[in-house]
């Protein structure tokens, strides 16, 4: 598993533990490595939504759909 995969796995684990700020940091680090992955934008959006940052989360979900318009996992 590459660096991005490790960051996503850690971020998802942190989300499961309710550590949304820490998870957000992992997803943001992964996005620094690849801005063109709709799943990374979606993960960041989920973390932001969990923090009550709805406007920012919507921007991430929209970015995910912009990259992959048929992204069936976009929240």
What tens digit of pLDDT does each residue of 14-70 get?
Answer: 999 999 999 999 999 999 999 999 999 999 999 999 999 999 999 999 999 999 887
Q: Does residue 46 form part of some domain?
A: yes
Q: Which residues constitute the domain of residue 12?
A: 3-67
Q: Does residue 72 form part of some domain?
A: no
Q: Does residue 75 form part of some domain?
A: no
Q: Does residue 55 form part of some domain?
A: yes
Give pTM, 2 decimals.
Answer: 0.90
Per the structure, the count of domains in the chain is 1
Q: Residue 72: its pLDDT value, please?
A: 63
Q: Measuring CA to CA, which residue among 34, 18, 24, 10 is closest to residue 57?
A: 24
Report the CATH number at residue 48.
1.25.40.10
Is there a contact between 36 and 66 (Cβ–Cβ < 8 Å)? Answer: no
Q: Residue 70: its pLDDT value, please?
A: 75
Q: Does residue 42 form part of some domain?
A: yes
Q: Does residue 56 form part of some domain?
A: yes
DSSP code for 52: T
CA–CA dist 2, 39 (Å, integer): 15
């Amino acid at each position: 598993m590459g660096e991005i995969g490790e960051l996503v796995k850690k971020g998802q684990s942190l989300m499961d533990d309710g550590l949304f700020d820490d998870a957000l940091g992992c997803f943001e680090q992964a996005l620094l490595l690849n801005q063109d992955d709709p799943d990374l934008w979606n993960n960041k959006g989920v973390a932001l939504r969990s923090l009550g940052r709805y406007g920012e989360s919507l921007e991430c979900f929209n970015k995910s759909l912009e990259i992959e318009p048929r992204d069936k996992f976009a929240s």
